[in-house]
Chains A and B, each alone.
Chain A
Amino acid sequence: MLDAIKKNGKGILLMFVSATALCIGQLIWKKMDGIQILPLLLGFVIYGVGALVMIMAFKYGELSVLQPMNSMSYVISTILAYFVLNEKISRMRLVGIIIIIIGVVVLASAGAASSKDKTSSDENKDGGRAS
């Protein structure tokens, strides 16, 4: 049972890592003055890592739980914009990202709960026939 909870947990954690990498990649591009080779490549690589980690994350949990974790990128990019770009965060935006975080927490707990109840495995070892 603990394994089941841990399974979604690993996927969720990887999704957070992915979202962070995606945001950092975009941030590097945003901070670029015009088009510079090194930041362009670095941002591309980090963004690519983020995409790959996201795909790997899908292995470790339910798609309906993990995919919405992408919404954390709104939160992370807001935080990055505040601390790195010194952008002002409006109160409404702050409320918005707090609510997103609440939704993410609720969804993450749903993942743990439903994987506890599942009798069939999350892992599609056979590569999956749709039925």
Chain B
Amino acid sequence: MTIGMILLAVFSSLIASIASFFLKKTTGRASTIPEMLKTWTLYVGGILYLISACIGIYILKKIDYSVAVPLGALTYVWTLFVSRVLLKEKITFRKVLGIGIILVGVIIMAKSV
């Protein structure tokens, strides 16, 4: 379990966050599944998610599950910032509190496995 692997896990969660941004963008342009399939942002989001998942699978061989899963949950934190910058969504105390509590729950849950 090296620093490099942990940083890679953090990076993977960032990619997943950016992927979800592109998926959100897709729903802005398309309402039906056929329309979505013609929207390029769907594929960018999908590919980014796949990349994130592949990195995640690789990571699980290198670091403990109890560390990998909470690092994966960091994606919720990233999304808070990504959506603030790119979607103008406000960062509110309740959002931060909610995500913080979720992270605590994920850490505890991952440690129990």
Binding site for B on A (CB under 8 A): 52, 54-56, 58-59, 62-65, 67-68, 70-71, 74, 78, 90-93, 95-111, 113-114, 117-118, 120, 123-128, 130
B57 located at the interface, meaning its Cβ lies under 8 Å from any Cβ of chain A in the complex: no
Whether the Cβ atoms of A68 and B102 lie closer than 8 Å is: yes
Q: Known interface pairs A67-B76, A127-B29. Does A58 touch B101 (Cβ–Cβ under 8 Å)? A: no
Binding site for A on B (CB under 8 A): 17, 20-21, 23-29, 31, 33, 36, 42, 45, 73, 75-76, 79-80, 82-92, 94-95, 97-113
Q: Known interface pairs A96-B109, A103-B104. Does A71 touch B27 (Cβ–Cβ under 8 Å)? A: no
Whether the Cβ atoms of A113 and B24 lie closer than 8 Å is: no
Nearest-Cβ distance from residue A53 to partner chain B, whole angstroms: 11
Number of inter-chain CB pairs below 8 Å: 149
Interface on chain B toward A: helix, strand, loop, or mixed SS? Answer: helix
Interface on chain A toward B: helix, strand, loop, or mixed SS? Answer: helix
Task: Give complex CA distance A117, B86 in Å.
Answer: 19
Q: Select which of A58, A97, A127 is within 8 A of B23 by beta carbon.
A: A58
Q: Select which of A91, A103, A118 is within 8 A of B102 by beta carbon.
A: A103
Residues of A within 8 A of B106 (CB): 71, 74, 96, 100
Whether the Cβ atoms of A67 and B17 lie closer than 8 Å is: yes
Residues of A within 8 A of B94 (CB): 106-107, 109-110, 113-114
Known: A58-B20, A71-B73, A96-B108. 5 other contacts (CB 8 A): A59-B27, A71-B102, A106-B98, A110-B92, A113-B92
Whether the Cβ atoms of B31 and A68 lie closer than 8 Å is: no
Task: Give complex CA distance A4, B45 in Å.
Answer: 27
- 3 tightest A-B contacts by CB? A96-B109, A107-B98, A103-B101
